[in-house]
Amino acid sequence: MKSIHFVLLFLLIIAGITGYILLTEPPVGAAGVPHATIQGMSAGGDGAARLATIGKAPFYFQIIVILLAVSLLTMAVHERLRDTRFYVLMGSATAFALFVWYKVYSGYEAYLATGETDIVFGFPVPTTWMLWGIWGSFVLFDLIFVFFFRNYFYTHEDEQAFEQLVAELNAEKDSAAKQGDA
């Protein structure tokens, strides 16, 4: 299977999960309720009740979205350049992104079950994982781009090949212009 087939597969799974969610009967306040007294502000209501009809669908949804994102990113690197190190790098970053997502969601579920949470770096634990972990886990992919730019994304050979293409096209243009003048 090529990357594009994985992309299509993950898109279809996401469509399936979304379809399943849309077919359930949303509980009251599934997307928040207007605040009782403050205009323009919404309240969350009962978080557990909001998830009761769809179960862990959001958890699986996001796992597939992460895998879709990685499949798309992989498409950017030409197949001839993808070596073992590339797959190890991408695999490690993906594993970390999935771990962070697990921490966000399991932390939120724990809060819904107990009504309690610790505050770390100014925010509830699952929120801190979301704010810094989600962002940080995808920064790893950015770092792969920065540090392995010449290995996978724009090799010196690619640069030479592109310069040659530009030179050929310019020569063709010059030749056509001279013929036009003549």
Partner 1 sequence: MEAFRQEIILSSVFIYLVICIGVGIWAMRRTKNANDFFVAGKGLGPIVVSLAVFSSTLSGFGFVGGPGLVYATGLSSMWMVVTSALGYATGFYLISKRIRMIAEVRDTVSMPDVVFARYGSEAARLLTAGTILLGVLGYLATQILAMALVLQSILTGTEMFADVSLVMCVVMSSTVLIFYCVTGGVIASVYTDLVQGLVMIVSGALVVITAAHVFDGGFSEVSNILLSNGGEDIMPFGTLGAMASLTWFFLFGLGLAGQPHIATKLMMNRKISDNRIILPMTIFGYVIAAMLWISVGVVMRALVLGDVGMPLASPDQAAPMFLTTYAHPLLAGVVFAGLFAAIMSTADSFLNIGAAALIHDIPKSIRGKVLDNELFWARVATVGLAVLASFFALYSYYENGDLVGLLGAFGWATFAAALVPVVLIGLNWKQASSTAAIVAISSSLIINFGIAVFKIQIPYNISAGFLAMLVSMILFIVISLLAKPKQLPHDIDRIMDL
- Which residues, numbered 53-112, are part of the site for partner 1 (CB under 8 A)? 54, 58, 61-62, 65, 68-69, 72-73, 75-78, 104, 107-108, 111
Decide: is 171 part of the binding site for partner 1 (CB under 8 A). Answer: no
Nearest CA among 82, 85, 31, 75 for reference residue 53: 31
Decide: is 154 part of the binding site for partner 1 (CB under 8 A). Answer: yes
Distance CA 140, CA 95 (A): 11
Decide: is 49 part of the binding site for partner 1 (CB under 8 A). Answer: no
Q: Which two tokens stand for residue 12?
A: 């279809």
H-helix or E-strand containing 61? helix 57-75
Task: Find the binder of partner 1 among 28, 146, 180, 181 (CB under 8 A).
Answer: 146
Q: What string of DSSP letters covers 85-109?
A: HHHHHHHHHHHHHHHHHHHHHHHHH
Decide: is 51 part of the binding site for partner 1 (CB under 8 A). Answer: yes
Task: Find the binder of partner 1 among 28, 31, 113, 182 (CB under 8 A).
Answer: 31
Least distance between partner 1 and beta carbon 178 (Å): 19
